[in-house]
Structure 1
Amino acid sequence: MTLASDVLDAARARGVMIATAESCTGGLIAGALTEVPGSSDAVDRGFVTYSNAAKRQMLGVRAETLDAHGAVSEQVAAEMALGALRNSDAGIAVSVTGIAGPGGSEHKPEGRVCFGIAQPFGTRTETVEFGAIGRSQVRAATVDHALRMLLDALRG
């Protein structure tokens, strides 16, 4: 069994659908879930919101939040996850926003990714510093971490 299969099984066991809200991964989390045959009974939809405008338009992320904290922040990750939950038929949503690289800054280094998990009873966020390990490695590590967060939340 793959991690994605475990996530789907846990969602089915809870009777909930999953939504994703992705920035730096560009749909890779939804792709990992839907790679599994039969995933349509546990995956509702995915939002790829790469630009700030897309985050605002598709997920309802507030311009004030983006201005105050920047796109790569736990505050934006929380609003992304909540927006995915609100704009879907899902019972759980995961969001990711980060700097896959190359690049970054002293304040927001390459490899920083903020994650959100939203469920009807609450939202939680965390930040992981993957480091300057390269764009594709940051994105792959982000997918893995997001799936693990989903699995923990669904089993919790």
Structure 2
Amino acid sequence: MLITLREVHDSDLPVFFRQLNDPVALHMAAFTPEDPADWDAFAAHWARIRADGGVVNRTVLADGDVVGSAAVYGEPGEREVTYWVDRAYWGRGVATAALRGLLAEVPERPLYARAAADNAGSLRVLAKCGFEVSAADRGFAPARGAEIDEVVLHLTS
């Protein structure tokens, strides 16, 4: 399977919206919008981040099909990575390949990442890409309706 990244197209947004509303993926991601089914809020969020010149947004493609998104955002010195991959592609190396591609495109360091402490898949992806655990935190996870443990990671090289 060939994993590539490209600029986000308007036609990607309905795919991202469908992916965001997968209940299993929502639970795993945990830190999601309060109402992921609100298309207007979703569209407004994507309009804001696509207009922000400091955000690097990419669509993740697997053999040419849209399977997710990956981004770097935030203030210099505090920039974070984020990614979302369709559940049908979990465990197949897609997230790792996408994140590696994004990290090659965005050479600035340090970069940070956060994941729910029980999201073993995401923590594995981040470790494979060189991220190291730097802190533990707790935060409110809208997808779970509760405060949960979170892991903070960093990448310095």
TM-score by shorter chain over 0.5 = no
Larger strand proportion, structure 1 or 2?
2
TM-score of the pair, normalised by structure 2: 0.25
Structure with the higher fraction of residues in helix conformation: 1
TM-score (norm 1): 0.25
